[in-house]
Amino acid sequence: MNDIFSYLQVGQSGFFSRILERFPVEDRTLVFAYGSGVFEQTGQNIRDNVTDLVIVVEDAESWHRKNLVKNPNDYTCEPYSKHS
């Protein structure tokens, strides 16, 4: 994987690394960020901006099983509830 952090402003690579540490590494093939918080914009405070991450994986079902164990609060069971 190319060093995507070389394109970010100083100090952001640690921010993105900490976020990615939350998620399973297995099966990950590509990660990219987009949104107003990715690159510094003149006149904008980067802390007020939004950043979205896209994580591309080889096996989505396997990745979500691992992520469900690691980050159970990221998921809701509401859609699968018999009461809905």
State the pTM of this model. 0.64
- Please give the pLDDT value at position 49: 80
- pLDDT, greater one: 21 or 39: 21
Residue 71 near residue 55 (C-beta atoms within 8 A)? no
Taking 80 as the threshold, does the pLDDT of residue 14 lie above it?
A: no
Residue 10 structure tokens: 């100083």
- Which tens digit of pLDDT belongs to each residue from 29-81? 999 888 877 777 778 776 778 888 899 999 999 999 999 999 999 888 755 54
pLDDT (0 to 100) of residue 54? 92
Residue 5 reports pLDDT greater than 70? no
Q: How many other CB atoms are found less than 10 A from the CB of residue 67?
A: 17
Integer angstrom CA distances of residue 29 from 18, 25, 34, 58:
18, 9, 17, 7
